[in-house]
Amino acid sequence: MDRAISPQGSAEQQVLRFRIDLQDVTPEVWREIEVPAEWSFWLLHVAIQDAMGWLDCHLHAFVPAAGGERFVIGIPEGCRGESIEAGWDVPVARHFEQVGDRLFYKYDFGDGWRHELRLVSRQAADPALGYPRCVDGRGACPPEHCGGPPGYADLLDKLSGPRTDAYYQMVEWLRGHDGKHWPFDPEAFSVAAVRFSDGDERRRRLRPSIDD
């Protein structure tokens, strides 16, 4: 990914480790990633998408976890009557100063996926490693367009139930979804399978209007 710390980077450079918990789903889905401390929220967004397994085809926003200052960080072109700071203009360090600081990361405003984003640690970069990197996680990312947490629960219920028409309809939908969701194991996750993409290239391909 762009502006990543290469394995030859200085050990004095700082990295932030984040815990990302997808809310309101069972079994639990979470990831831990490490990113350069000087990154913008746009680059963090791209890293979250890649680590979670989302396809980045909907709007997103970073918002306060609870009370206090009100702000929304995301894509201004997706604004509908709300003031949104462009993620590429806002440094992550502005809102993550101390271990334990939290925000919510929202994705796909129609399905309503919500993630708690918590700063776990801040430390010197290891010169032997490259960043960003995924260091831990659990659970498969739900399929896009499955209807948010309620729809995902219904999907799992149908897959675990008797092989009725509803079961086979769900299997057919998963097979034709995006080529990676059948067979679907909600417990499956591999750190080694995570691949991070180029955030600047992603931004260059960004359309003026994005489906929400």
Per-residue burial over 42-56, b if 16 or more Cβ lie within 10 Å, else e, is bbbbbbbbbbbbbeb
Looking at the DSSP bridge assignments, the partners of residue 87 are none
Same domain, 28 and 127: yes
- Asked if 155 and 43 count as a contact pair (C-beta separation under 8 A), the reply is no
Same domain, 56 and 130: yes
Total domain count, the chain: 2
Task: Tell me the pLDDT tens digit for each residue of 102-124.
Answer: 999 999 999 999 999 999 999 99
Same domain, 193 and 179: no
- Asked if 42 and 203 count as a contact pair (C-beta separation under 8 A), the reply is yes
8 within some domain: no
Task: Tell me the pLDDT tens digit for each residue of 132-150.
Answer: 999 999 999 999 999 999 9
Same domain, 157 and 112: no
Sign of the dihedral through C-alpha 90, 91, 93, 96: positive
Please name the residue that has the structure tokens 């034709």.
176
pTM of the model: 0.90
Question: What domain range is 111 assigned to?
Answer: 14-140+187-204
pLDDT number for residue 11: 40
| CATH number reported for the structural domain that contains residue 34 in this entry | 3.10.290.30
How many angstroms separate the first and last alpha carbons of the chain?
25
